[in-house]
Amino acid sequence: MNNMFDLTGKVAVVTGASSGLGRDAALCYADYGADVALLARRKEKLDEVAREITAKGRKAIPIVCDVTDEHSVEKAVAEVVEHFLKIDILLNNAGVAIMGTVDQLSEADWDTSMEVNVKGMYLMSKFVLPHMRKQRYGKIVNLASINAVVADKGYELARHAYNTSKAAVRGLTMGMAATYMEENITVNSIGPGLFESEMTIDSLFKHEDFIKLYNQLTPASRHGRKGELNGTIIYLSSDASTYVTSQHIIVDGGFTSV
Ligand SMILES: NC(=O)c1ccc[n+]([C@@H]2O[C@H](COP(=O)([O-])OP(=O)(O)OC[C@H]3O[C@@H](n4cnc5c(N)ncnc54)[C@H](OP(=O)(O)O)[C@@H]3O)[C@@H](O)[C@H]2O)c1
């Protein structure tokens, strides 16, 4: 039987592959047969992920890349293509979540939020797309957040720059999807709910009251478990979703539906 989720022979590029959801996704891509280019700033962490992928019998290349820097992105994408000769999948996952309201955030923190979370996706897509267009095949998956559509009440957990940047990811996804589908390139986004990661462990998870409330308000009565985002990532990255583009799939145990 033809397995439409199989990624054997595909090349995936994952940004923010050094930790959290990006690291998990990179390992899962390898489990589904893909070779993976791992991009982030921390080389030692990327090396660890690369070793794990190699141990699974797949190829991995760790590449130091700052997604906010055009030269760094251009160089990284060129290195991927030199190494693997093509790119089939781009997981735009690198992100930062700087806490603060508009009257607390410094201009620098605002700019960093937009540069990593939005400009990073634009730059990665800009340099990857010519390779996808040439082969008339590509799957782009952008990590947004439920925080594109819901915010946290009050001051303590407010992340106004994050809300703004993640809402922008939806706009970018829609625009790109409408343009590139005729070249057989799908562009979709994912809105995760709450998952443990470097981003959330020292901020959201240390607020016990918040976690209790989140669990109470979530139909699943819990936050997301390690690996629970991967099914959606593989679906949107594989031939199981050839006619699916411009969609936003929320993976939050029902949090935003009640
Ligand atoms: N965890 C959640 O609950 C949750 C919920 C909704 C959405 N998300 C989204 O999921 C994505 C992954 O987040 P996570 O939770 O896995 O957090 P994480 O563990 O902090 O991962 C963020 C990744 O982004 C990379 N990164 C940050 N700035 C970068 C830059 N300038 N250039 C290249 N890479 C950069 C980091 O690597 P280096 O530091 O090594 O560069 C790291 O690998 C983010 O887009 C986040 O907004 C997460």
Q: Is the pLDDT of residue 1 over 90?
A: no
Q: Which atom of ligand 1 is nearest to the CA of 24?
A: 16
Q: What's the structural domain count of the chain?
A: 1
182 C-alpha vs ligand 1 centroid, how far in Å?
A: 31
Pocket of ligand 1 (CB under 6 A): 15-16, 18-22, 40-42, 45, 65-68, 93-97, 116, 143, 145, 192, 194-195, 197-200
- Asked whether residue 208 is domain-assigned, the answer is no
Rounded to 5°, angle at Cα 170 from 195 and 81: 85
Closest CA to 80 of 99, 56, 98, 64: 64
96 C-alpha vs ligand 1 centroid, how far in Å?
A: 6
Q: Report percent pLDDT > 90 for the chain.
A: 95
d(CA 205, CA 163): 18
Can you tell me whether residue 50 is helix, strand or coil?
A: helix
207-231 pLDDT, tens per residue? 899 999 999 999 999 999 999 999 9
106-152 pLDDT, tens per residue? 999 999 999 999 999 999 999 999 999 999 999 999 999 999 999 99
- Which protein residue has the closest C-alpha to ligand 1 atom 11? 93
129 C-alpha vs ligand 1 centroid, how far in Å?
A: 22
In the block, tokens 């082969």 appear at: 135
20-64 pLDDT, tens per residue? 999 999 999 999 999 999 999 999 999 999 999 999 999 999 999
- Asked whether residue 245 is domain-assigned, the answer is yes
- Asked whether residue 202 is domain-assigned, the answer is no
Task: Write a three-state SS string for 142-184.
Answer: EECCHHHCCCCCCCCCCEHHHHHHHHHHHHHHHHHHHHHHHHC
d(CA 178, CA 187): 9
Closest CA to 185 of 139, 235, 248: 139
Residue 203: pLDDT band (50, 70, 90) is: confident
Residue 2: pLDDT band (50, 70, 90) is: confident
- Which protein residue has the closest C-alpha to ligand 1 atom 23? 16
The pLDDT mean for the chain works out to 97
Buried b vs exposed e over 70-100: b needs ≥16 C-beta within 10 Å?
eebbeebbebbbeebeebbbbbbbbbbbbbb
φ and ψ at residue 193, rounded to 5 degrees? -80, -135
Tokens of 66: 């700052």
Q: Which atom of ligand 1 is nearest to the CA of 68?
A: 31
Q: Average pLDDT for residues 234-257, to the nearest whole number?
A: 98
Positive or negative torsion for Cα 123, 124, 127, 131: negative
- Write out the residue range of the structural domain in which residue 73 sits: 11-196+225-252
Residue 155: pLDDT band (50, 70, 90) is: very high
Whole-Å CA distances, 215 to 134, 190, 193: 46, 20, 11
Does 204 or 75 have the greater pLDDT score? 75
- Which protein residue has the closest C-alpha to ligand 1 atom 8? 145
- Which protein residue has the closest C-alpha to ligand 1 atom 41? 41
Amino acid at 63: I
- Asked whether residue 6 is domain-assigned, the answer is no
Burial of 48 (0-12, 13-18, 19+ CB in 10 A): middle
Predicted pLDDT at 136: 98
Q: Is the pLDDT of residue 87 over 80?
A: yes
- Asked whether residue 206 is domain-assigned, the answer is no
Q: Average pLDDT for residues 169-195, to the nearest whole number?
A: 98
Q: Output the domain CATH number for residue 93.
A: 3.40.50.720
- Asked whether residue 148 is domain-assigned, the answer is yes
- Asked whether residue 150 is domain-assigned, the answer is yes
Ligand 1, from 48, 77, 127, 197: best to mutate by most atoms within 8 Å of Cβ? 197
- Which protein residue has the closest C-alpha to ligand 1 atom 20? 199
Contact 132, 185 (CB under 8 A): yes
- State the angle between helix axes of 107-114 and 160-180 in degrees (0 to 180), rounded to the nearest 10: 30
148 C-alpha vs ligand 1 centroid, how far in Å?
A: 16
Predicted pLDDT at 141: 99
- Asked whether residue 123 is domain-assigned, the answer is yes
Q: Which amino acids are annotated catalytic?
A: 162
